[in-house]
């Protein structure tokens, strides 16, 4: 991040604070959500699938950020997204029925998912390609520190304060932080003045892998934690401790992943990540020893960090920097097409065929992804044709 700091201190400050608030708030929500849903409201596997699908609807609609960026700067979009994230977390703390939980989850998700395209586009436009993997790795490590603070707070205070108080307080904090960043997030900061909405044939592999990433992600974020809570009785404190371990690992590992991408390239690191994912999902399906499952969850978290290579891949193959925010928005949408479907399908087949079924689907996703990753090339193509343009 030294290069970015030298170029624009104000921009770096904004990105750091915004990412800290974003990760801190979401980590608290994530640490408490499954236990609140199961213990306080009595949500079952089929209902959790529907709720998680609702959570992914804003991600499905995230391509709207591409058009918002034609009018508003990425920094303003990020700030408003943080306010929405905070409102959703606040409302989750007030949830006493499945209906309220649906609404709070949707609002939280709207802020969470609309933040990401603006954040990713802002970073990719601000940093040179050779430095980008390291910068993203460092920023994600900073985010991991925020996750440590969030999950650590849950672990220390959940018995004393309860779900409602923690979620309400954290939601209010994120709302205030987002409002402050909205005020300070103005100006161009040397970024491209124009944004374009353009899809290209040459990005087909990026779009396809993004779709598969959405499926892979939900095995990890939806069904792995639910397996631990429902089938093995992992309580809120243990879940928070597990996420805390993940966050501590990320503080160190994400920086290293960024350096590995810079050194070996996107194809090599993604090949490793998807190959390693296959035994992880098989373990979820067939291992019944809790200690082993907890270890698999931590390793799964580390492998999930390798997805930063997708952003650097897009930066390398992009025709122009003014297309980056649009394609980061499309990435969010494509990522969630499968993510909207998979929780419902996975929850249903869990009920019909047992807990192994969603994880075996994950094995298939990992195998297909592993094959497609071998097609990654980062050379620029001459005169590519756009499929969709904004007329510019």
Question: Number of helices (H) and strands (E), helices first, in the chain?
Answer: 16, 2
Question: Mean of the per-residue pLDDT values for the chain?
Answer: 83
Selection from 329, 387, 376 nearest residue 72 by Cα: 329
pLDDT-derived band at 191 (thresholds 50, 70, 90) equals low
Q: Which residue has the higher pLDDT, 181 or 342?
A: 181
Of the pLDDT bands very low, low, confident and very high (cuts 50, 70, 90), residue 6 is low
Percentage of the chain exceeding pLDDT 70: 90
Of the given ranges (70-74, 106-110, 300-304, 350-354), which has the lowest mean pLDDT? 70-74
At residue 28, the pLDDT reads 92
Instruction: Give the 3-state secondary structure of residue 152.
Output: helix
In this structure, of 33-37, 64-68, 85-89, 223-227, the range with the lowest mean pLDDT score is 64-68
- 265 versus 325: the higher-pLDDT residue is 265
Structural domain boundaries in the chain: 2-185+196-380
Cβ atoms of 51 and 105 within 8 Å: the answer is yes
> Tokens representing 109?
């998700």
What's the pLDDT score for residue 307? 86
- State pLDDT tens for residues 338-354: 766 777 788 888 888 88
Picking from 154-163, 221-230, 314-323, which range would have the lowest pLDDT averaged per residue?
314-323
Query: What SS3 state is found at 111?
Result: helix
Share above pLDDT 90 across residues of the chain, in percent, rounded to a whole number: 26
Distance, CA of 294 to CA of 225 (rounded, Å): 10
pLDDT confidence band for 2 (50 / 70 / 90): low
Range ranked top by mean pLDDT from 8-12, 222-226, 232-236, 296-300: 296-300
pLDDT at position 8, please? 65
Q: What is the pLDDT of residue 283?
A: 93
**Least confident among 32-41, 153-162, 306-315:** 32-41
Interval 341-370 mean pLDDT: 86
pLDDT band at 187, cuts 50/70/90?
low
**Torsion angles phi and psi, residue 52, rounded to 5:** -65, -30
For residue 385, what pLDDT is reported?
A: 41
Give the model's confidence band at 7: pLDDT under 50 very low, under 70 low, under 90 confident, else very high: low
2-185+196-380: which CATH topology? Growth Hormone; Chain: A; (1.20.1250)
Q: Are 365 and 210 in contact (CB under 8 A)?
A: no
Q: Which range is least confidently modeled, 25-39, 84-98, 191-205?
A: 191-205
Q: Please determine, for residue 5, whether its predicted confidence score (pLDDT) is greater than 70.
A: no
Question: Residue 335 and residue 59: Cα distance in Å, rounded?
Answer: 8
């Amino acid at each position: 991040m030294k290069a970015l700091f030298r170029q624009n201190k104000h921009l770096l400050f904004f990105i750091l604070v915004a990412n800290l608030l974003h990760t801190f708030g979401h980590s608290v929500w994530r640490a408490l959500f499954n236990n609140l849903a199961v213990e306080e409201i009595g949500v079952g596997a089929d209902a959790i699938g529907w709720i998680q699908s609702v959570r992914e609807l804003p991600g499905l609609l995230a391509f709207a950020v591409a058009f918002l960026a034609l009018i508003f700067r990425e920094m303003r979009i990020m700030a408003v997204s943080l306010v929405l994230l905070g409102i959703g977390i606040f409302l989750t703390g007030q949830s006493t029925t499945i209906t309220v939980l649906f609404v709070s989850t949707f609002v939280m998700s709207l802020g969470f998912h609309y933040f990401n395209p603006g954040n990713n586009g802002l970073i990719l436009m601000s940093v040179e390609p050779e430095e980008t993997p390291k910068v993203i790795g460092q920023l994600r490590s900073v985010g991991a520190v925020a996750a440590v603070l969030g999950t650590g707070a849950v672990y220390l205070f959940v018995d004393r304060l309860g779900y409602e108080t923690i979620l309400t307080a954290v939601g209010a904090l994120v709302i205030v932080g987002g409002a402050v960043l909205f005020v300070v997030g103005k100006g161009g900061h040397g970024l491209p003045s124009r944004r374009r909405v353009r899809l290209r044939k040459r990005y087909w592999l990026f779009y396809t892998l993004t779709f598969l990433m959405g499926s892979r992600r939900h095995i990890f974020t939806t069904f792995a934690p639910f397996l631990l809570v429902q089938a093995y009785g992992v309580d809120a404190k243990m879940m928070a401790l597990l996420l805390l371990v993940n966050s501590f690992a990320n503080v160190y590992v994400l920086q290293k992943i960024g350096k590995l991408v810079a050194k070996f390239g996107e194809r090599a690191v993604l090949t490793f990540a998807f190959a390693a994912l296959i035994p992880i999902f098989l373990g979820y399906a067939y291992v019944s020893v809790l200690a082993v499952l907890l270890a698999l969850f931590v390793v799964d978290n580390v492998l999930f960090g390798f997805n930063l290579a997708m952003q650097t891949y897009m930066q390398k193959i992009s025709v122009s920097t003014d297309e980056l925010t649009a394609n980061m928005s499309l990435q969010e949408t494509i990522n969630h097409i499968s993510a909207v479907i998979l929780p419902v399908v996975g929850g249903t087949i869990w009920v019909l065929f047992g807990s192994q079924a969603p994880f075996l689907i994950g094995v298939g996703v990992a195998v297909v992804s592993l094959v497609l990753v071998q097609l990654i090339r980062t050379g620029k193509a001459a005169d590519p044709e756009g499929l969709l343009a904004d007329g510019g």
